Amino acid sequence: GSCAFDLRPNLTHACVGRQSCTVRCIQGSCAVDGAPIPTGGDPCPGTPKKVTAQVQCERTPAPSPSPPWNISDLKIVCQSKPTNYTGAFSSSDDQLTRVWYSGAYGSRLNMMPYGFNSIL
């Protein structure tokens, strides 16, 4: 499946001024480098709530060296591909469970070379 996160209302926080950043989305909640950002509801309606997505953003050079710049559109598009993952974790603390799944699924993405199997 695929879904889109429309971050236009949150452009001032989404990777602005950074060399790179990480956007993590777990159970419909997204964060940029650990700081929560609203997505305007469930970005992937109809998907299981245990779905975890992680996206790495790279810096985009500005069209000119001096400001002002105007970003009119920014979206993160993610595609999911089911895999046979044999690990599992469950805790009575929902946040701890979410942290475990973020680490388990996010580490795969972090170890891939930039541009590897990129959908963009």
Question: Tens digits of per-residue pLDDT, 60-118?
Answer: 555 666 666 666 666 655 555 555 666 677 888 888 887 787 777 666 555 555 555 54
pLDDT in tens, 3-54: 444 444 443 444 555 555 555 655 555 666 566 655 555 544 444 444 444 5
pTM over 0.85: no
Q: Please answer whether residues 120 and 77 qualify as being in contact, where contact means their C-beta atoms are separated by less than 8 angstroms.
A: yes
d(CA 87, CA 92): 18
Q: Tell me phi and psi for residue 108, to 5 degrees.
A: -60, -45
Cis geometry, peptide bond prior to residue 48 (ω within 30 degrees of 0): no
**pLDDT score at 50:** 46
